[in-house]
Amino acid sequence: MNKFEKNHISAFDLDHTLLSINSSYQFGYYLYKKNVFSTSKLCYLLTKYFFHKLNILSINQLHQVTFNTIFLNQNSCKINELAEDFIDEFLNSYYYKPALEKLSEAKENNHFTLLLSSSPCFLVKIIAKKLQFDDWLATTYASNSSGNFSNITNILLGKDKAIYLENKRILLGIPVSQTYAYSDSYLDIDFLKSAGKAICVKPDKKLKHISVKNNWEII
Protein backbone atom coordinates (compact mmCIF):
# COMPACT_ATOMS: atom_id res chain seq x y z
CA MET A 1 0.00 0.00 0.00
CA ASN A 2 1.21 3.50 -0.87
CA LYS A 3 2.57 5.20 2.25
CA PHE A 4 0.41 8.25 1.48
CA GLU A 5 -2.79 6.21 1.23
CA LYS A 6 -5.02 6.51 4.29
CA ASN A 7 -5.61 3.07 5.81
CA HIS A 8 -7.28 4.07 9.10
CA ILE A 9 -10.29 6.21 9.98
CA SER A 10 -10.59 8.37 13.09
CA ALA A 11 -14.13 9.71 13.55
CA PHE A 12 -14.92 12.36 16.15
CA ASP A 13 -18.06 13.73 17.72
CA LEU A 14 -17.86 17.49 18.30
CA ASP A 15 -19.72 18.74 21.39
CA HIS A 16 -18.22 17.67 24.73
CA THR A 17 -15.70 15.63 22.74
CA LEU A 18 -13.39 17.81 20.64
CA LEU A 19 -14.95 20.80 22.38
CA SER A 20 -15.48 21.08 26.12
CA ILE A 21 -18.87 22.71 25.51
CA ASN A 22 -21.97 22.28 23.35
CA SER A 23 -21.36 24.51 20.34
CA SER A 24 -25.07 24.81 19.52
CA TYR A 25 -25.99 26.06 22.99
CA GLN A 26 -23.07 28.47 23.13
CA PHE A 27 -23.91 29.79 19.68
CA GLY A 28 -27.54 30.16 20.71
CA TYR A 29 -26.48 32.30 23.67
CA TYR A 30 -24.19 34.28 21.36
CA LEU A 31 -27.19 34.98 19.08
CA TYR A 32 -29.22 36.06 22.10
CA LYS A 33 -26.47 38.52 23.09
CA LYS A 34 -26.59 39.81 19.50
CA ASN A 35 -30.36 40.41 19.91
CA VAL A 36 -31.30 37.81 17.30
CA PHE A 37 -34.06 36.55 19.62
CA SER A 38 -35.75 37.70 22.81
CA THR A 39 -35.29 36.93 26.50
CA SER A 40 -38.69 35.23 26.59
CA LYS A 41 -37.56 32.86 23.83
CA LEU A 42 -34.34 32.15 25.71
CA CYS A 43 -36.32 31.22 28.84
CA TYR A 44 -38.61 29.04 26.73
CA LEU A 45 -35.63 27.19 25.25
CA LEU A 46 -34.01 26.69 28.65
CA THR A 47 -37.26 25.15 29.89
CA LYS A 48 -37.36 22.80 26.92
CA TYR A 49 -33.74 21.83 27.49
CA PHE A 50 -34.60 21.03 31.12
CA PHE A 51 -37.44 18.81 29.87
CA HIS A 52 -34.98 17.07 27.57
CA LYS A 53 -32.64 16.38 30.49
CA LEU A 54 -35.60 14.83 32.33
CA ASN A 55 -36.26 12.60 29.30
CA ILE A 56 -39.62 14.30 28.72
CA LEU A 57 -38.49 15.78 25.41
CA SER A 58 -36.57 13.71 22.85
CA ILE A 59 -33.42 14.94 21.10
CA ASN A 60 -35.40 15.21 17.85
CA GLN A 61 -38.08 17.30 19.54
CA LEU A 62 -35.43 19.52 21.12
CA HIS A 63 -33.84 20.12 17.71
CA GLN A 64 -37.23 21.03 16.23
CA VAL A 65 -38.14 23.38 19.08
CA THR A 66 -34.75 25.11 18.82
CA PHE A 67 -35.06 25.49 15.07
CA ASN A 68 -38.60 26.88 15.27
CA THR A 69 -37.68 29.30 18.06
CA ILE A 70 -34.37 30.67 16.76
CA PHE A 71 -33.72 29.81 13.13
CA LEU A 72 -37.03 29.54 11.28
CA ASN A 73 -37.23 32.40 8.71
CA GLN A 74 -33.79 33.73 9.68
CA ASN A 75 -31.57 34.65 6.74
CA SER A 76 -29.08 31.83 6.21
CA CYS A 77 -26.30 34.16 5.04
CA LYS A 78 -26.66 36.29 8.17
CA ILE A 79 -26.53 33.22 10.43
CA ASN A 80 -23.50 31.88 8.56
CA GLU A 81 -21.69 35.20 9.06
CA LEU A 82 -22.54 35.21 12.77
CA ALA A 83 -21.32 31.60 13.02
CA GLU A 84 -17.99 32.64 11.47
CA ASP A 85 -17.67 35.52 13.95
CA PHE A 86 -18.60 33.31 16.90
CA ILE A 87 -16.06 30.63 15.98
CA ASP A 88 -13.29 33.14 15.26
CA GLU A 89 -13.85 34.77 18.63
CA PHE A 90 -14.36 31.79 20.92
CA LEU A 91 -13.31 28.48 19.36
CA ASN A 92 -9.73 28.36 20.67
CA SER A 93 -10.96 28.60 24.27
CA TYR A 94 -13.41 25.70 23.83
CA TYR A 95 -11.11 22.87 22.73
CA TYR A 96 -10.77 19.80 24.95
CA LYS A 97 -7.02 19.26 24.78
CA PRO A 98 -6.83 15.44 25.20
CA ALA A 99 -9.26 14.91 22.31
CA LEU A 100 -7.51 17.52 20.18
CA GLU A 101 -4.23 15.69 20.78
CA LYS A 102 -5.87 12.46 19.55
CA LEU A 103 -6.92 14.29 16.38
CA SER A 104 -3.38 15.58 15.84
CA GLU A 105 -2.02 12.08 16.40
CA ALA A 106 -4.48 10.65 13.86
CA LYS A 107 -3.37 13.20 11.26
CA GLU A 108 0.29 12.47 11.93
CA ASN A 109 -0.44 8.77 11.34
CA ASN A 110 -2.23 9.62 8.07
CA HIS A 111 -5.71 8.59 9.25
CA PHE A 112 -8.77 9.67 7.28
CA THR A 113 -10.47 12.05 9.72
CA LEU A 114 -14.23 12.47 10.09
CA LEU A 115 -16.17 15.05 12.11
CA LEU A 116 -19.73 13.85 12.82
CA SER A 117 -22.03 16.11 14.82
CA SER A 118 -25.71 16.70 15.50
CA SER A 119 -24.98 20.44 15.66
CA PRO A 120 -26.09 22.51 12.65
CA CYS A 121 -24.00 22.32 9.50
CA PHE A 122 -23.23 26.05 9.48
CA LEU A 123 -21.20 25.53 12.68
CA VAL A 124 -19.74 22.12 11.92
CA LYS A 125 -18.48 22.94 8.42
CA ILE A 126 -16.48 25.94 9.71
CA ILE A 127 -14.93 23.95 12.55
CA ALA A 128 -14.18 21.01 10.24
CA LYS A 129 -12.37 23.37 7.87
CA LYS A 130 -10.38 25.02 10.67
CA LEU A 131 -9.30 21.65 12.04
CA GLN A 132 -8.60 20.30 8.55
CA PHE A 133 -10.85 17.25 8.70
CA ASP A 134 -11.02 15.12 5.57
CA ASP A 135 -14.82 14.93 5.74
CA TRP A 136 -17.72 15.96 7.96
CA LEU A 137 -21.46 15.49 8.42
CA ALA A 138 -23.96 17.41 10.53
CA THR A 139 -27.60 18.30 11.03
CA THR A 140 -28.82 20.20 7.98
CA TYR A 141 -31.30 23.04 7.49
CA ALA A 142 -33.03 23.90 4.22
CA SER A 143 -33.53 27.43 2.91
CA ASN A 144 -36.37 28.83 0.81
CA SER A 145 -36.09 30.92 -2.36
CA SER A 146 -35.47 34.04 -0.25
CA GLY A 147 -32.48 32.43 1.45
CA ASN A 148 -34.25 32.07 4.79
CA PHE A 149 -34.20 28.86 6.82
CA SER A 150 -37.44 26.94 6.24
CA ASN A 151 -37.09 23.49 7.83
CA ILE A 152 -34.76 20.82 9.18
CA THR A 153 -33.87 18.33 6.47
CA ASN A 154 -31.85 15.91 8.59
CA ILE A 155 -30.94 15.48 12.26
CA LEU A 156 -27.71 13.54 12.64
CA LEU A 157 -28.07 10.98 15.42
CA GLY A 158 -25.76 8.26 16.72
CA LYS A 159 -27.16 5.61 14.38
CA ASP A 160 -26.62 7.95 11.42
CA LYS A 161 -23.01 8.48 12.45
CA ALA A 162 -22.56 4.71 12.58
CA ILE A 163 -23.99 4.30 9.07
CA TYR A 164 -21.84 7.11 7.67
CA LEU A 165 -18.68 5.69 9.24
CA GLU A 166 -19.49 2.24 7.88
CA ASN A 167 -20.16 3.56 4.37
CA LYS A 168 -16.97 5.62 4.39
CA ARG A 169 -14.98 2.63 5.64
CA ILE A 170 -16.29 0.44 2.81
CA LEU A 171 -15.67 3.18 0.23
CA LEU A 172 -12.05 3.54 1.35
CA GLY A 173 -11.52 -0.21 1.70
CA ILE A 174 -10.55 0.06 5.36
CA PRO A 175 -11.23 -2.86 7.75
CA VAL A 176 -13.37 -2.29 10.84
CA SER A 177 -10.37 -3.06 13.05
CA GLN A 178 -8.66 0.08 11.72
CA THR A 179 -11.45 2.51 12.62
CA TYR A 180 -11.68 4.67 15.75
CA ALA A 181 -14.71 6.49 17.15
CA TYR A 182 -14.62 9.24 19.79
CA SER A 183 -17.64 10.48 21.73
CA ASP A 184 -18.84 11.60 25.15
CA SER A 185 -22.46 10.47 25.01
CA TYR A 186 -24.53 7.33 25.40
CA LEU A 187 -26.64 8.73 22.54
CA ASP A 188 -23.68 7.82 20.31
CA ILE A 189 -23.53 4.19 21.44
CA ASP A 190 -24.31 2.86 17.93
CA PHE A 191 -21.54 5.04 16.52
CA LEU A 192 -19.03 3.86 19.12
CA LYS A 193 -19.95 0.20 18.64
CA SER A 194 -19.56 0.50 14.86
CA ALA A 195 -15.83 1.22 15.13
CA GLY A 196 -12.98 -1.18 15.73
CA LYS A 197 -11.99 0.87 18.75
CA ALA A 198 -14.26 3.10 20.83
CA ILE A 199 -12.73 5.95 22.82
CA CYS A 200 -14.97 7.66 25.37
CA VAL A 201 -14.27 11.32 26.01
CA LYS A 202 -15.37 12.54 29.45
CA PRO A 203 -18.29 10.09 29.13
CA ASP A 204 -21.70 10.70 30.64
CA LYS A 205 -22.78 8.38 33.46
CA LYS A 206 -24.50 5.82 31.24
CA LEU A 207 -21.66 5.67 28.73
CA LYS A 208 -19.03 5.48 31.45
CA HIS A 209 -20.71 2.37 32.85
CA ILE A 210 -20.65 0.74 29.40
CA SER A 211 -17.07 1.82 28.73
CA VAL A 212 -15.84 0.24 31.95
CA LYS A 213 -17.78 -2.94 31.21
CA ASN A 214 -16.30 -3.16 27.69
CA ASN A 215 -12.82 -1.97 28.70
CA TRP A 216 -13.05 0.99 26.32
CA GLU A 217 -10.44 3.73 26.58
CA ILE A 218 -11.50 6.86 28.45
CA ILE A 219 -9.81 10.24 27.99
The answer on pLDDT for 169 being more than 80 is yes
Query: Do residues 175 and 197 lie in contact, with contact meaning Cβ atoms separated by under 8 Å?
Result: no
Strand residue runs (E) in the chain: 9-12, 112-120, 135-143, 149-154, 179-183, 197-200, 217-218
Give the pLDDT mean for 165-175: 98
The answer on pLDDT for 1 being more than 90 is no
The answer on pLDDT for 2 being more than 50 is no
Answer whether residue 1 is part of any domain. Answer: no
* Total domain count, the chain: 1
Answer whether residue 110 is part of any domain. Answer: yes
Segments forming the whole domain that contains residue 69:
9-218
- pTM tops 0.75: yes
CATH number at residue 27: 3.40.50.1000
* 201 or 6: which leads in pLDDT: 201
pLDDT tens track for 52-73: 989 899 999 999 999 999 999 9
The answer on pLDDT for 167 being more than 50 is yes
Q: How far apart are CA 154 and CA 126, in angstroms?
A: 18
